[in-house]
Chain A
C-alpha cells in the first residue's frame, strides 16, 4: 500500500504540475489559519491548510479555498477610480494612485483646517488586521473618530475583560478543556477569533462535556449534554440563574473567591435577586435544566466558555460579557491550563503602541463622538455608528465632513440601514478602499483597490489574544491593488505624518518586531512566534485592574457612573417590554446566524460560495409557517416598525414557534445596477439604532433581537 500522508506537498506539486508552494496566513475572516498556497504559472492554483499551524492544525474552511476566486474575480476593482456622475450613478473614471491619494490628502487637510480633525472620520468594518494602522493615522491626525464594528463585536469583550481581569480570557484548547459551554457562538461555522473550530471539535471528540446556549438547534446543540434553549436576548438572566446555583450550592472556587475577587458580597446580593423560578420565567429555560447545566459547568474542570458575538449585539452587551467572565472566574477556570487563559503576547510593539493612541491630544480625545454617552466604549476609542450619522445629517454636536471607510460596507452591516445610506449620501467627501465597488462604495467620491491577503506581507494575528503571531507572506500581485497598510503609509506622507511612518510598510513590520531583535525577513523564515505561556499569573501578580483583583464589581464602571454590577435588561423590543408592538409584530426575529462560505457581506460574488447558498433565507417554524400559509422556499416579506425586506422561507423546527431567524448582510453583486439590490434583503432595513436601544456603556446596537411580522410575498419572483 502506498504511503498516504496528509498535505503531501511534494506529491501535490508533482501531481498537479504546480510551480511550488508558499506558506502563508489566511485572512478570509479575521485571520487565523496557517495555509499552503500552491501556484501554477505564477497564479494561485490551490489553497490548503498548514498542518504545522497550531491554530488550525492543517484544517481549513470553504472561504480560504475560495480566496483565489476573490483575488482573480473579473468584477474586482484593480485600479483607483473617481466618481464622475452624481452619487449612486455608477459612473467612474480610472485615475492613478498618485491622483487618488493626492485628492484624499487634500480633503483631509482642508477639512482639518476648516472644521477640525474631528470632522474627518476614518473607519473599518470587522477586524481585518488593518486596525492599528488606521488608528495610527487618525490619532496622528488628531481625529478621535474611528468608526468600527468595535461597539458590538469583539470590542466589548476586549473592553469589559480589560476592566474585569486585565485581558480577554481565551479558551485553552491546546490543553483540552473537559467541559465547553458554547454561548451565542457557532465556532464550527463562523469566524472565531483566536482558535478556530478544530480545537473545539477535538475537545468534544475527546469526550469533553458540552453545554450549548442558543435559541436555535444547531448541530452543536444537538450533540450537547445540555442545550439551554433560551428566549433571545435573555442571556444575562440565564447566567444569573447559573450563578445562583453555583453560589447557593457552594460549587465555586473558594480560594479564588476569598483571595482574588473584588466585590463578592454585593455581587452575591445581586445574584440572589435572580432565583431560578424568576429566571425560568424570563428565559423560558426550565429551572431544572439551568441547575443541571450550572452543576456540570462548575464541577467539570477545566472548563471553558466559548463566547461569541451574538451576546454582544444586544442592549445587554457589556453585562453579558461581564457576567460570563464572572462564571469563568468564580469557578476557578481563569488562567488554568485547559480553562480560560490570559495569554501573554510575544514581546513586540503591540497594537496599542502601533495605534499611537498616546499621540491623540487630550482635547481632541474629549471630542470623541458619543464619548460622553457611551463611556466604556469611549475609553477604548470606540464609537457608536449613529453618532457619526447624526454628525453628518444634523451636524450635531459638530459636522462630520469626510469619511474614509476601509474594508467596510456599512449600508449593509450597520443598524437602521436607511439612515446609514442617507448619511453616506450627504457626507461631503467619502473615500472607500475595498475589493469591489460595493453598495457603500457606490456612494464614494474615490474608491481604492484593496489587496487581498494573498497580496501582502503582514504579521498575522497581530491583535489576537492567544499569544501567537504568524507570518502572512505575499504570494501574488493583482492589478494595481495595494494592501491597506501600504496605502495608509503612502497617504500618511501626503498629509504631513511622514516622520511617524516609514519608507514602505515592510519597514513598519521591522519596527513592530524590533523589541524581539528580529526583522520581517527573519520572521518570514519562521512558522510562528508565541508569547511566554504561563498559567495562574494572578497568584503572583494579581490582575491588571484598579484593585488588582478580578472585578465582579467594576470600579471603572462605577467611576463612569454605571452600575458596577451586571444587571439584566429586557430586550428593547419583546413580548415583555413592548406587548402592544408584539400584537402587531407577533414574532421574535433573531438575525445573523452564520452560514458557511460568507463573511458578513463578502463572497457573494464567488461562485463556489454562492453555490452553497444562493438566496437569503429566513427560518420559520413549520407550525407558524402553516398558520401563515408559508411553504418551503416561498419568498416572504419580513416587516419591522422600520421597514420591510424579502427572503426565502426555510421551514425549521429547531426553534420555538414564536421565533424566526433571518440571515444578515445579503446584497446581490450580480445585479449590476449601482444599488446592487442593497435594500431588498438587507436585515438592517429592519433594525433599530436609536440611542436608547443601545447598550448604555458600550453603545452596542441591538441588531440580534427585535420584533417582526412575516407574510408570504405576493411577488414570488426572484431578487433583482
Chain B
C-alpha cells in the first residue's frame, strides 16, 4: 500500500508562517489552536557561523505512535497509508496524548474541549487533494507531501542543488 508523509525542508524555510494560516483556513481554527507551528532555533554560533533556523512542528505520523498507545478512548488510529488520525468525536479531552507526544505536536482546543493535531488532511488526501499546508502555498516550496522515500530523496537532492553541488 502507498504511504504518505509531509516533510519540511527546514533549511529552506524562511519563517513566513503561511503554512500555519493555510492550516487555520482549512479547518477554520480559532487563533490559538495550532496543528502546525513555527519554532525558532538560535540565534547562536555554530561551526563559527551565525545560526538561526525556523522549524515547523507538526505531527510526525510516527510508525509506532506513543499518543495512540496513551489514548484510552481509542480516538487515535494509524491508517494503512501510515497517516495517524485523531478522531475528535471520540476524544474526551483527557490530554494523555499531549503528555505522550515526544515532539510537543499535539495542541488542545479549549473551545471544543478536545485535543487536536495534524491529521495530514486525511480527508483532502482521500479526495485526491494535497494537504492544505503543502498545496503550493509556501514561497520556499519547502513543504513536501507524498511517499516518504520519494520526498526525502527530493529534499536531499535540493540540498545539493542549493550548495551548487548538483544541477
B is a partner of A: yes
Interface residues of A (CB under 8 A from B): 1-8, 11-12, 14-15, 46-49, 51, 56, 58-62, 65-66, 188-189, 196-198, 201-202, 204-207, 217-223, 227, 596-597, 607-612, 652-654
Set of chain B residues within 8 Å of A611, measured between Cβ atoms: 24, 30-32
Q: How far is the CA of A223 from the CA of B2 in the complex (A)?
A: 35
Q: Give the A-B pair count, Cβ closer than 8 A.
A: 148
- Cβ-neighbour of B139 out of A5, A46, A66, A197 (below 8 A): A197
Set of chain B residues within 8 Å of A218, measured between Cβ atoms: 52
Set of chain A residues within 8 Å of B24, measured between Cβ atoms: 65, 608, 611
7 more CB-based (< 8 A) A-B contacts, given A61-B139, A217-B42? A1-B147, A15-B124, A48-B135, A51-B136, A201-B14, A219-B52, A611-B31
Contact B14 A189 (CB under 8 A): yes
Q: How far is the CA of A716 from the CA of B114 in the complex (A)?
A: 32
Contact B18 A65 (CB under 8 A): yes
1/0 contact string of B30-66 vs chain A (CB within 8 Å): 1110000000001110000111111000000000000
Interface centre among B30, B146, B162, by most A CB within 10 Å? B162
Q: How far is the CA of A76 from the CA of B29 in the complex (A)?
A: 21
Interface centre among A48, A217, A219, by most B CB within 10 Å? A219
Q: How far is the CA of A11 from the CA of B125 in the complex (A)?
A: 11
Contact A596 B162 (CB under 8 A): no
Is B137 on the interface with A (CB-CB < 8 A)? Answer: yes
Is B119 on the interface with A (CB-CB < 8 A)? Answer: no
Contact B129 A4 (CB under 8 A): yes
Interface centre among B130, B138, B139, by most A CB within 10 Å? B139
Contact B43 A217 (CB under 8 A): yes
Closest 6 CB pairs of A and B: A611-B31, A654-B43, A188-B14, A62-B21, A6-B136, A607-B31
Contact B21 A608 (CB under 8 A): yes
In the complex, 16 of the A-B residue pairs with CB atoms within 8 angstroms, ordered by the A residue number, are A3-B128, A8-B128, A8-B129, A8-B130, A48-B135, A48-B137, A49-B136, A51-B136, A58-B136, A189-B16, A219-B54, A220-B14, A222-B51, A611-B24, A611-B32, A654-B50
Contact A227 B21 (CB under 8 A): no
Q: How far is the CA of A2 from the CA of B129 in the complex (A)?
A: 9
Is B91 on the interface with A (CB-CB < 8 A)? Answer: no
Is B123 on the interface with A (CB-CB < 8 A)? Answer: yes
B121 to chain A, nearest CB (A): 10
Q: How far is the CA of A60 from the CA of B17 in the complex (A)?
A: 11
1/0 contact string of B1-39 vs chain A (CB within 8 Å): 010000000011111111011101110011110000000
Contact A188 B161 (CB under 8 A): no
Q: How far is the CA of A649 from the CA of B127 in the complex (A)?
A: 45
B44 to chain A, nearest CB (A): 7
Set of chain A residues within 8 Å of B140, measured between Cβ atoms: 188, 201, 205
Restricting to B97-113, which residues have a CB under 8 Å from any CB of A?
none
Contact B15 A7 (CB under 8 A): no
Q: How far is the CA of A11 from the CA of B161 in the complex (A)?
A: 33
Contact B135 A7 (CB under 8 A): yes
Contact A612 B141 (CB under 8 A): no
A58 to chain B, nearest CB (A): 4
Q: Looking across the interface, which residue of chain A has its beta carbon closest to that of B12?
A: A205
Q: Looking across the interface, which residue of chain B has its beta carbon closest to that of A218?
A: B52
Q: Looking across the interface, which residue of chain A has its beta carbon closest to that of B15?
A: A219
Known: A198-B139, A608-B31. A62 touches B162 (CB 8 A): no
Q: How far is the CA of A223 from the CA of B42 in the complex (A)?
A: 13
Q: How far is the CA of A59 from the CA of B52 in the complex (A)?
A: 24
Contact B139 A188 (CB under 8 A): yes
Contact A219 B53 (CB under 8 A): yes
Q: How far is the CA of A459 from the CA of B28 in the complex (A)?
A: 31
Q: How far is the CA of A201 from the CA of B140 in the complex (A)?
A: 6
Q: How far is the CA of A597 from the CA of B20 in the complex (A)?
A: 11
Contact A65 B25 (CB under 8 A): yes
Is B164 on the interface with A (CB-CB < 8 A)? Answer: yes
Is B158 on the interface with A (CB-CB < 8 A)? Answer: yes
Q: Looking across the interface, which residue of chain A has its beta carbon closest to that of B19?
A: A62
Q: Looking across the interface, which residue of chain B has its beta carbon closest to that of A56?
A: B139
Q: How far is the CA of A221 from the CA of B70 in the complex (A)?
A: 42
Contact A653 B44 (CB under 8 A): yes
Set of chain B residues within 8 Å of A8, measured between Cβ atoms: 128-130
Set of chain A residues within 8 Å of B44, measured between Cβ atoms: 653
Contact B127 A11 (CB under 8 A): yes
Contact A221 B52 (CB under 8 A): yes
Q: Looking across the interface, which residue of chain B has its beta carbon closest to that of A610?
A: B31
Q: Looking across the interface, which residue of chain A has its beta carbon closest to that of B163?
A: A207
Contact A62 B16 (CB under 8 A): yes
Contact B25 A596 (CB under 8 A): no
Contact A612 B21 (CB under 8 A): yes
Set of chain A residues within 8 Å of B124, measured between Cβ atoms: 15
Contact A60 B137 (CB under 8 A): yes
B88 to chain A, nearest CB (A): 18
Set of chain A residues within 8 Å of B13, measured between Cβ atoms: 219
Q: Looking across the interface, which residue of chain B has its beta carbon closest to that of A206?
A: B161
Set of chain B residues within 8 Å of A654, measured between Cβ atoms: 42-43, 50, 52
Set of chain B residues within 8 Å of A597, measured between Cβ atoms: 17, 21
B78 to chain A, nearest CB (A): 19
Q: How far is the CA of A205 from the CA of B136 in the complex (A)?
A: 16
Q: Looking across the interface, which residue of chain A has its beta carbon closest to that of B129?
A: A11
Set of chain B residues within 8 Å of A222, measured between Cβ atoms: 42-43, 49-53
Contact B17 A4 (CB under 8 A): no
Set of chain B residues within 8 Å of A610, measured between Cβ atoms: 31
